[in-house]
Each structure stands twice: as structure tokens, then as C-alpha cells.
Structure 1
């Protein structure tokens, strides 16, 4: 078949040499428009294979209009699956991929590729077809070669049915022939064969190992070392693994005596750590998914999984950690990595910013049993590798099985929990602050001030996302802010870098900072550097905006600082969205949803109230949270907690604000009552810090109030101010006398 088409192509070339003058660099405009451009071929192709050859020749002759026409002719003839697969076998999928990438050949080239892929998928999903190929393997050498050629077109998908034959008592194919066929599939077979190494059956694993050795690609080496050195494997599996390693590394299984298992644990840990830190680059499909093969006990073969790169990395990291833990029972590092991957896996299942599952059979409960020492090592690993979802998960565990000793500084450095308060991830910061509160420290520790700061920032937020626009030009900033509001952001405007930094640092809902190239006080590089250096704002993504032609001047800032990109000056919100949404989508830390933000606000208010009621202000000074608490007192959902926390701050401004709430007719009655009671408490503890006019207003309100609970609370305020004896005498005498004795 190939010889016939090659001869036909030579004939075309020869005819072209005789038809000089007919080949034009570009078709005439009118010909190109009506599709009747004259072909330079002496005779037109008559079948699909000849038309593909003609199309490729026309491309080389700069006649894409004719090439597109030949491809369209193939489509117009409505080829069936057999014809489409014959084209794929003849020219290879790569040929049609190249044609589909040419804009001049659309839509015909893409449609042809789609039909070929659809035919291949239908063939792949036809068990009868695959089983028929495997049944031909033992028939004769000629049939075997033909079947292997067909199986190679299935690539990795030929592996699962072949592996099933190894344990099928009814199979009429020798195991050695299965291994030989797997080997002939080449490197396409490596991913599913690696998945087969997790099988419980030694026959399957030994065959997969042998095939990997004969294929000879070094990407299989770490997985083979895990099989060779694992003492839980049978002698046959270990021996096969050493033979395979010798073939790959030294070209001959007889040289296995050169192999030494020393250092295997470190190699496996290095592979696992690279995967856990998401440093491995996986090939992905158009949807951004990884094809990962794993063993299925149900199917008794490997199955394909389409997963995210993060899921693929954690799955393989867990395997390496588990293998290392089985090989080196005396070492703690494999256990640390294994527990970290399990927590990270459960965090991935839970979703962004959500707590991991708890209860029997979860990584959380496993970590609880593992104890605080191992969990502290997991925290150190997750902070070091910036695996922040796992860090937040293990902090939750430490809040339950840890103790105050975890807060002790060592060698002048803050404790791990205190270090987590400054992690460049807001979820880890909040989880660390919460864990510290549950450990209930009795003495100040290095970094304790950050606990109240974190709760105050999260309290000083709204469920709606916010951005800060930093630009000395007020009109330009206002215009950009309006575009961002159209995209759902509440936009604050700052004229200087320093002012914008303060806005971002003191609020917990800022999810974006937009800085103009001409920023002042601080200039651009200093503004970006300060935003990225401070723990309160390190997670905030930054967009530098300015004239489109000046993007090159900002590339060095983006290369040195993660989460920084360029936004050209645009004229509407749709253009802003075109740059903004892809940028935000690829960030490792995703913003809180409105329900998550609301939950974070309520939890922050609760913990600040907890500090006040537990008289813990010697450890956690609430004064830095005053402004956030005052703002939160206007939020009905957390007003009660905010008022109680305020009352623990010994400042005149607090008494004034508590009095204002107690006197506010528009405030909810329970909040007014709480404010009055806390004002009485504050006066008792710190003395009267109110002006006389405010005291008079409180007394007047007490006299006129008709609601019993609020009137009682206001009475407590009046009494706590120590009124003079005359006033007390008048109140006593005005109280109604008893009409009769108590019976």
C-alpha cells in the first residue's frame, strides 16, 4: 500500500515538472473566492490516501486553498471508521494534528482530525476488536507482527487487556508472549505498567517489571527501586526488579551485581518530595488534566484516571512515601511525608479553603493518633514546601492533640506555630491563630501579637471581595475602579503606595491590588516589594497597569515576585476581565467565597470575645483590634461578640463607643443591652472615663426607658458611676413604699 502511494506521489512531482507556468505562489483573487482554482496536478487523486498526499504537496507549493479542497473532498465522501483508521495508520496521527494547526486549512483539517479521533475512540471502546488482536498473537509469527502493529496504535490502552490475560485461566496466550507484546508497545506502555506495580498479585507485578526492564527507559527506575528494595515483596518480584534495573542502567541483567540498595530510601524520598512540592511537570491534555493509571482490584487490571496535576502528584508522592516507610522502618522522614500527602489529599478533596473531613477512616483522625511530635514535623515540612492546605489541616490536628509546649521558642527562633502565623497564606495564618487559642497559652510568647492582628483583619471584612487601586491620578484610578466594580469588586482608591499598603494590610477581604506604573510614595518597585514582604499582604495578587507598550519594564518585577502580572490600560471592564480572570485562576491561593468569608468573620469575633471573657489580655492585647471591633459592632451577626471584646480594652474611646451603642435608638435591643452591661463593667474596672454630658444622657435614657432588661442594664451603668449621696437619697425616697408586709 505504501509503495503504491509513494509511486503516485512521484508521478505527481514528475507531472509538475512538465507543467511549468501553472504553479502560482498565490491563487487569483476571484478563483480563491469561488473555490475553482486550477490544480497544478496532471491528474486528480481518486481516493482518500491520495487526497492527503495531494493536500500536503499543495501546502509545500503555497496553495493552502487547494490543500483545503482536497481535505474537504475526503469529508464529503463520508468515510467510515475503517477508512478513517486506515488514514491514521497510513500517515500517523501527528500528520493530521499538524494539518489542524494551520488556519488556512480550516474548518476541514480540524473536522477530519475530529472524525479520526472519534473513530479511534470507538475502536478503543470495542472489546471485541482488542480481544481479536490479542487472540491473533499466538497464531503465527506473521499474525503476531500484524496484531502488534495494530496494538501499537492503541498505545497505552493496549496494556489493560494484556495484563488481564496474565491471571485469566482461560487465556490461550503464554505469559512470556504477553511480556514480549508489552515490551513492543514501547514507552507508551510505561505509565500503565507503573500503575500495575500496585497490584497485589506477584505475577502481574513481575510481568510489569520485566516489561519495564526490556523497554529500557530510565523514567521507570525509581519505581523499580521501590520494588527491588521493599522487604515485603516476594523474592521473585525483587529479583525481577534487580534484573530490570540492571538492563536499564547497565544494558545487561547479568550486571545486577553492580546494583546496591544503599541510599534507596533517600532516592524514593527525593522523588516523593519533588511530587509533594508540585515540582514535577506532568503532560496534560487540552482540559489541563493528567492521564494517570492505577491498579483496580475490581477490574483486575490498570484503569485510566483523568485528574488534575495536583492529584496526580499527591497520588505518586504517597506511593513513594509508603514504599520508603516500608523499606526504612527506623526512619521518621518517610512517615512524615506519608502523613503530609494524606492530609494534602483530603484537603484537595475538601476543596479550596474548606476544612478536611474528620472521623474514622480520615487522614485527620490518623494524624490525631500519630501524636503531636510527628504532626509538628509535618507542619515543618508543609510550611517549607509551601503546601498550605496540608499545613492548615495539620494545624487543626495540633489544636486537638498538641500542648502549650509547642509555643516555646528554640535557639532564638519562634516556634513552628508562631512561624505559621506569618505564613504567606491567610488560611494557614487563621488556622495557626485558632490552634493557639485552643492550646490556651498562659504566658506571652514570641509572635503572640499576631494572633489578635489576624482575627482583627478577618473581622474587618465583608463577604464581598475588595481590591485596592493605587494611582496618583485620581481620574484614572476612578475609571479603573468602576471597571473592577463591574466585575464584582468593591474598589478602594489610594493615591500613594504607602496608603494603598495600609488599606490592604488592615482588611481581610482585599483580594487584589492594582498598582499604576507611576506610583508615588512609595514608587512601583517599593510598593510591590512591601506588599509581597509583609505577612498580611503577601498572598494578595498584584496587577501593575500602564501603557501597553511599557510592559517590558515590569517583567523583572513579575519574575522576582510570585503573583504579579501586567495589565495594559484598557477602555472597558470586559478588557480588564480578559486579563484578570486567567491571572486569578492560576494562583495557588483561591479567595474565600462569601459563605466562607462570613464564617471567618464570625469565628474571628468569637475568639476575640473569648480573649475578653477569659481575661487573657495579658497574653493577647486586644487594643490593636479596637477599630475592627467598632466596625464589627454595626454587624448584627457579630455585634454582641464585638461589644464584649471591646469592653476589655482600657481606653476612654471604648467607654464613649459603648455609651453610643447603648443610647442608639436604631441599634437592636439585645446589642444595646449588652453595650450597657459592658459599659458598667468597664466603668467598674477602669473608672469613669466619660464626659459629664454623656453621663447625663445615660441618666436621662435610664429614666425614660420602658424596656425592662435595657432599663436594668442602664441602671447598672448609673450605679457604677458612684452617684453623689443626694442623688441616691432622692432615688431611695422616690421608690414606692411597700403597701403591706410580705406574707
Structure 2
């Protein structure tokens, strides 16, 4: 009996060693009060399988808001028998379910994640603490066991030890500390290597020798050259070639470079590569070409992968997160700068440095603005560089299609008006003339990027004297197209879409507008080519695969051979036979937008106030506005209902709710809020009814802005429904064609608001794909640059992703603001040609474009000054039209009247009798005195009439009661008396 009891006792002790030895069970049933007690209690509940009680303990622990020191101690000093570190907390994620109640289970999981996050942060912060790291650095000089433990803890701190160790070495510690540090460095983690490599270039020379030795003692020293951050070879080359380096440093650096590359630089087959300058130049060029390996990204900044780069800072180093392009820029400039330190006049290093710097600046700013605005210091270097360096830089950039560099150098040559850059070089073979080699600016004129083309033309025009390049006609065509592309204020970038089917074209045009682009539609390939030639305002082209006249296989080579079109990104839509419809919801939304701008019999169209300012300008009474809003809403719903039924749809509850909801989206919120708040309630009810099943309860209490994007979309339509959607699209297309032109801007703005990024009113459109057709189209476009395939129905997000792949980030699409600036530049050149300041160009070629510029208030004054110097009959008539237009600003009307007088006196009278009569009428009614005076002067030149003069004289009645103006004497301050001149005698005055 006693033996059985003893055996049972031993078994119990063996099965419960932790509870028996650590703490009695009774302690776990006491109410915990501190963080460690809560954690011990939670661990006990976990061991016993009571997950609900464990979740309560974790919740109680978090309620105490423990500080980081407490959480660090909790991780590093666990209860007896527990494991240390963050792992014990990470294992909490393995619990499949904490509570049978879904809500409490979710709360428990959130608490677990919160605890893990707080503990992880506390441990990481403590391990990176300077106080802790310094404590273990000092312990390196202790006993062997103490030193080994210090190294172990420093390894745990990771790369955070690097700046402190470098700082201590820079301050020249005692020999014992210095030796201990160099003994520890080979034993630290591989994440410390990039920091010590960065420190190598600024360390004291004895320390440089020791660091090189430390690197070679590491077991992973061969792997150091695999990533740019840890590669010591460029630094070793610099130390080897630096004349200020001691012999010991040079020898150690050369041996190290040989060891890592397995090649002795002094034995290179190429003589220029036997020096540090040649070797470093090759390394820097590799970064310009993007060859080195930066390793795997360690994070992201606004969606851009980032890499950790160590760089010197004072007497130590720091770590910075950079994008891949910025990482290459940093190292490329660093190594090119070292070459220039060793050999300041090295042309190759100068070219590499400038190339990397310009491309880096373009990566940050988009490559559109001139360097004089974005990087004045870099622009100063480029502006003062030698001509040979600039031409070499430009030739290399054009050969390698580096647009940012090409554009910067072309602009610089233009600002310097370099005569040599525009002069063709005569090539002779065996003393006989063979041909002319085009100048660098003429080559730039053929560069595919539109910005470079325009900059090259601008630069060639700045070169004084008669042009000798033989490209005057081409430059004139470029200036004319640029001036014709002058966009109005508020214009967007433009997409040109070609499709022989107007209904399908309207659907694709809709998606392009949702993507934020102004869209223009043509029906044939011939119209597409003609439109591209008219002006340079097209940013990219979309073509349906069914394009005709010519067909796709013949149109693609034409587009890529054309000087203007070959630079444009091109998309081919892989549409199915017939028309691929959009979903029903999108078709209804388009219909609602069109109906909102129609004149309906029950309620004529009117512009609703969109903001408080327009609301205050209303002249109608409140009850009249209420009736107008409600009446218009009912009329739009009625019209939509009729058109939907005519298309073949059954008018079910969902369709009715959609019609009501979409109609309300076309009326501005400020109008509804002021005059029809009951319709705002109706909008909310409609939106909730349109939510997918199961979502309405979740969003019932949310704001309307959160409900709108969750409205249910449509599945793939059936064949009968597809036919109905196509019928509706055709009807909508016909209605849109009949809209008045002045309503289109507001209609497009309303349509864009449905998919606004900030406050979307509908869910995003879902794309429709036909894989077999897409593969067939892909085979047709193979071999053509910057051409992609789009699905039959694509989404704005998908289009944006494709554009990112087609467009160089250093040379983005030309913005409307840039186009306006280019148009102004083109107009200025035409004025100089008309004045005779620029020779060799026939300005009359641009007569139509200059006349078109008269319509722009920004360009009108320059255009007027140009047109008056040209024998243009229609131009003179345009001046008369502007002078009599009461919608143009007074300064422009005055300039037009003055120009009209000059044109008539120079070239004769071309204005029509109707225009002369209009001048007489407008001159009488114009209130602006300056405009009236100029118009009368024009009348005197065009139609002097003695009877008219007599009639005017008879009506002239001066104001005789007005006092005469006193003649103002000279200002004594402006006309000081002569100090030497004596005051006259009073008698002389009399």
C-alpha cells in the first residue's frame, strides 16, 4: 500500500514539474494585479486549455498599459520554466479559437496582435538602446566570459551597434578598447557589414588597415561583393589610388581588391584599367547602366520598394532608406566623385557624373522642368561645361535613349546658342567631299521624345544667322503643330481612340474619361493619322482591333514610321466580334448622365447651383426652386424609365431603384440639400436597397459616402440581356450626339463624378477579357515598341497600370501646362520671324495657326503683333472681329484695333463692309473710353464720312460750367534751385 502511494506521488511529480516546482496552483486563482502576474496567469490558463480565461488575462494585462521596460523584462525574464524572447508571444497566434462567441473571439485575437506588437516594439527598442549597447561595448574589455556574453548581446542588437562603434573608433580610444572592438567586428552579424564598409572611407588610416583585416577574417567575406551596400572593392580602389593614403593602407587596399575580385588591377590587359582611376570609372559607369545588384528591398515608401544604404555622417555613419534609383544614384555619384578627386579633368568621369546626376534629378521631379528651376547648382555645372563634354554627353544619351539627359543637354546648348551645335560637319574621305554629318541638334530633332524635338527646334532657332541645317520646313511644321495644340485652361491629357463602330467607341471613350483623360474618337485609320498630324496634343492612342482604312496590320507600321506618331504609347483593344457591352449598371449610369442634360417636355434643362456662391446668385423664390427640383427629378426618372423599357428591359424593383439613385447623382448635393432634402433620404434608401445581400445590415448605419462604392455590380450578362444593353448603349449614343455643345463640359464633369477617387458614387467597372483574342492581337503587335494589348472592356486601374509600363518615369507624358508653355514659345518664334529677327523661315506657312492663336487670351497680344506684319487678308478680318467683340478683354481689343489700322495702312483694306458697319455701331455703344477711342480711329481709316463727322459735331456739347484745370508748376523736389543763383531783387521783380 505504501509503495503504491509513493509510486503515485512520483508520477504526479513527473507529470506536473512546472506547477509543482514553480508556483502552487492556488496562486493562479488569486486575482492578478501586475503585468508579470497577469502573464503567469494567462500561461497557466493556456496550459490547462482554458482559452476564454487566458483571453481575459491578456485583456487585463493590456488594460494596465505596460511600458516598454516592463514588456522587455516580460520577454527576457519569463516565469520559471518558460521560454524567453518574443517567440512565446508569437505562439499565441496558434490558438485556433479563443471564445465560442464570434465577437469575443475577434476581440481576443485583436488583443493578441496588440500584445505581440507592443512586446516586439519594446524588445526592438531596448536592443537598439544606446545605453544598453554602450554598456556591452564597455564589457568587451572584461574577462573572457564577460566579453563573449557582450559580443552575443551586441549581435542581438544587430546593425544598431555600427554607428556607436564607428564613433568610438573615430574618437581614438585606448588601445585595449580599440583592439577589443576589432576583435568583435568579425563576430558581429552580416547586417553590420554595409555600415562598416561605409565607414572604411572616413576611418583613420591605421583603422582602415584593421577594418580590411576584419573583413577578411569573416567567414562570409566572399559574399560581401554580391551586393552594392556591402561591396568594399570600390572603397579599396579609392584608398589604393589616393595619394594621401599611407603605404600600409595602399598595400592593404590593393591586396584586398585583388582578394575579392580574384584579379590584380595592376596586371589588367587594358592599360587604362591598371589604375584606380580607370577601375573606379568602370564601377561608376556600371551604376549609370543599372548593372550592380542592390539586393532585396527591405521596405517600401508610398508603394515604392526601398533599400537600406549606409553613408558617412561626420565621424560616424547613418542608415537611410532609398529607392532603387536613388540607391544607384548615390553610389554612382560617390564613385564618380572619387575619380574626380584623383583626377579632376577626367572627361569620362565628368560625363558619368553628369549623366547620373541628371537622371537622378529627373527621377525625383519627373524630368519635365528645366534644371535651372529644379537643380540650379547642377544646371550651373552643365551650363559652364566644355562644348566637347556636352556633345559627347548628348551623343551617348541619344544613342542609349536616355531622354532626361538628352533634354537637359539640348536645352543647355540652346541657352548658349552654340553655333557649332547647329552646323553640319563635312566628312571627307581621301581628300574628297562625300557628305555632311548632321549636327547634334539636328540629330536631336529626330529623337522620338516630343519634348526633345521641341527643345531641339527651339535651340536651332536661337542660333544666330541663316540656318544651314536644311530642316527649316520640319521646324516650321513642328511649331505650327505645337501652336495648334495649345490647350484651354483646365484641359486634361488627351487620348485618341479609333474604332469603326460608334457604339463600341462610345463605351471605350467612357472608360477613358473615367480614367481622367480627355478623349477624341475617330472611325478610321486614315482619320487617326490625319488627326495626329494636325497638332501635337495627343498623349496616347487606343485602337480597336477591328479598325479599317487601313486595317490594323497595315496601320501599325505607318504609326511607328511616322515621326510624330512613333513616340506615342499605343494600345490595341482585343474586342470580340460585334460589340462587347459594358455592364447594365454602367449603361444606366451613362444614360442618366445624358438625360440630365436633355431638354425634357415636362421640365426644361437648367443649370443647378453647385456651390454656395451659385446658390446665393439665385433669383427664384424657395418654393419655385423646390418645385423645379422635384419636377426635374420626376421628369428625368420618367424619361429614363421609358428608354430602359424601349431597350427591352423588364422594369423590376432593382431597375427602378437604380434609375432613381442614378438620377439623384446628376443633381448637385447643394441643390438637393437646400431645396429637396426628402430626395437625399430617397437616395440613401435606394443605395441601401442596391447593396449586395448580407451587406445592407453591415452598412445600414454608415454614411452615404461609404455605402455608394459597395453597391452591387452585375454578373456577366446573358445573351438576351446583352442585346438589351447594346440597344440601350445605341439609344444613349444617339441622345448624346444630339446634346448642345455648351452642355458637354458639365455633362462630362457629372459623368466623371460617378467614379471620383475621393467620393465614388458607383463601384469600379469590371473588365471583360477574351484570352484567345488577346493572344491573337499580341502576335500582331509583336516587334513594335510601346504597344500593349487591352481587354475588350478594361478598367481605369488597368489602363493606369499599362501606361506605367509604357512610359519612362524620367520622361512622363506632356502635361497641358507644358503644352501651353510650348505654344507660347512657338508663337514668340513666329513673331520674331515676322519681324525679320529670325531669317530663313517662311512665316506665312503658319498663317492658319497664328490666326487660331488670336482666340487665346494668353497668346492674343503676341499673335496680333505677328499677324499685322503679314499680308494676310483673313488675318486683317480677324483683327476687326476681335476689335468689335465685347467678350474679349479691353487690352486685346485695343491691340487688335491698333493692329487693324497698321495692317490697313501697310497692305490695304481687306475688311468686309459688314465688319465696317459693325465697327460703327459698336463704337457708339461701347462704354470703355479707351476702346471707343481706338474704334473711332479705325473708322476714320476705313470709312471717313463728312456727313458722319458733321452729325457728331452737332451732338457735341461741352460742359462749360466745369472749372478750368490749373497748370501745375514744377515740383520743387524735382527741380531744385541752383544754390549759386542769387534771389532777384524785389525792384527787379516789379
Which residue of the partner structure matches residue 502 of structure 2? Answer: 474
1:569 and 2:792 correspond: yes
Which residue of the partner structure matches residue 386 of structure 2? Answer: 371
CA 1:143/1:295 → structure 2, altered by over 3 Å: closer, same or farther? same
Pairing of 1:466-615 with structure 2 (within 5 A)? 466-524=494-552, 527-546=555-574, 548-550=769-771, 551-555=774-778, 560-561=783-784, 563-570=786-793, 576-585=795-804, 587=807, 588=809, 589-593=811-815, 595-615=817-837
Which residue of the partner structure matches residue 134 of structure 1? Answer: 137
Q: Matches of 1:93 and 1:269 in 2, distance apart?
A: 52
User: Alpha-carbon deviation of 1:301?
Assistant: 1.3
Between stretches 454-463 and 529-538, larger displacement belongs to 529-538
1:296 counterpart (306, 313, 322): 313
Q: Aligned with 1:548: secondary structure?
A: coil
1:315 counterpart (314, 330, 351): 330
CA 1:637/1:91 → structure 2, altered by over 3 Å: closer, same or farther? same
1:355 and 2:370 correspond: yes
> 1:157-188 deviations in whole A, cap 9, x for unaligned?
43222222211245676444434433334653
Q: Matches of 1:247 and 1:131 in 2, distance apart?
A: 34
2:225 counterpart (218, 226, 232): 218
Q: Matches of 1:173 and 1:622 in 2, distance apart?
A: 83
Check whether the contact 1:165–1:173 (CA below 8 A) recurs between aligned residues: no
Q: Which ranges of structure 2 fall in alignment gaps of 5 or more residues?
A: 1-39, 63-69, 78-82, 96-108, 428-435, 575-767, 925-931, 954-990
1:641 and 2:862 correspond: yes
1:432 counterpart (420, 439, 456): 456
User: Alpha-carbon deviation of 1:296?
Assistant: 0.8
Which residue of the partner structure matches residue 160 of structure 1? Answer: 163
CA 1:210/1:363 → structure 2, altered by over 3 Å: closer, same or farther? farther
Which residue of the partner structure matches residue 709 of structure 1? Answer: 934
> 1:581-633 deviations in whole A, cap 9, x for unaligned?
334456322235554444444333333323333442x4334455444433332
Between stretches 634-643 and 383-392, larger displacement belongs to 383-392
CA 1:130/1:187 → structure 2, altered by over 3 Å: closer, same or farther? same
Q: Matches of 1:247 and 1:50 in 2, distance apart?
A: 57
1:238 and 2:459 correspond: no
Which residue of the partner structure matches residue 414 of structure 2? Answer: 399
CA 1:667/1:115 → structure 2, altered by over 3 Å: closer, same or farther? same
> 1:497-541 deviations in whole A, cap 9, x for unaligned?
342344345444433322223333344455455545544344433
User: Alpha-carbon deviation of 1:407?
Assistant: 0.2
Q: Matches of 2:274 and 2:904 in 1, distance apart?
A: 72
Which residue of the partner structure matches residue 280 of structure 2? Answer: 268
Which residue of the partner structure matches residue 32 of structure 1? Answer: none
Q: Matches of 2:45 and 2:155 in 1, distance apart?
A: 25
Q: Matches of 2:798 and 2:417 in 1, distance apart?
A: 45
Q: Matches of 1:91 and 1:636 in 2, distance apart?
A: 70
Q: Aligned with 1:620: secondary structure?
A: coil
1:461 and 2:492 correspond: no
User: Alpha-carbon deviation of 1:636?
Assistant: 0.7
CA RMSD across the alignment: 4.9
Q: Matches of 1:97 and 1:375 in 2, distance apart?
A: 62
Q: Matches of 2:171 and 2:481 in 1, distance apart?
A: 63
Which residue of the partner structure matches residue 408 of structure 1? Answer: 423
User: Alpha-carbon deviation of 1:211?
Assistant: 4.1
Which residue of the partner structure matches residue 724 of structure 2? Answer: none
Q: Matches of 2:561 and 2:72 in 1, distance apart?
A: 60
Check whether the contact 1:346–1:363 (CA below 8 A) recurs between aligned residues: no
Q: Matches of 2:512 and 2:84 in 1, distance apart?
A: 49
User: Alpha-carbon deviation of 1:432?
Assistant: 2.8
CA 1:145/1:608 → structure 2, altered by over 3 Å: closer, same or farther? farther
2:913 counterpart (678, 696, 699): 696
Check whether the contact 2:265–2:275 (CA below 8 A) recurs between aligned residues: no
Check whether the contact 1:464–1:509 (CA below 8 A) recurs between aligned residues: no
CA 1:368/1:708 → structure 2, altered by over 3 Å: closer, same or farther? same
Q: Matches of 1:74 and 1:504 in 2, distance apart?
A: 71
Q: Which ranges of structure 1 fall in alignment gaps of 5 or more residues?
A: 1-45, 55-65, 100-105, 720-726, 737-743
CA 1:135/1:714 → structure 2, altered by over 3 Å: closer, same or farther? farther
Q: Matches of 1:73 and 1:538 in 2, distance apart?
A: 68
Higher relative contact order (CA 8 A, sep 6+): 2
Q: Matches of 1:632 and 1:437 in 2, distance apart?
A: 20
Check whether the contact 2:397–2:406 (CA below 8 A) recurs between aligned residues: yes
CA 1:486/1:266 → structure 2, altered by over 3 Å: closer, same or farther? same
Check whether the contact 2:514–2:796 (CA below 8 A) recurs between aligned residues: no
- Count residues in correspondence: 654
Which residue of the partner structure matches residue 286 of structure 1? Answer: 300
Between stretches 361-370 and 707-716, larger displacement belongs to 707-716
Q: Matches of 1:699 and 1:452 in 2, distance apart?
A: 34
CA 1:110/1:387 → structure 2, altered by over 3 Å: closer, same or farther? farther
Q: Matches of 1:389 and 1:143 in 2, distance apart?
A: 57
> 1:434-491 deviations in whole A, cap 9, x for unaligned?
3333334422424344444444444313252211112222111111212222333211
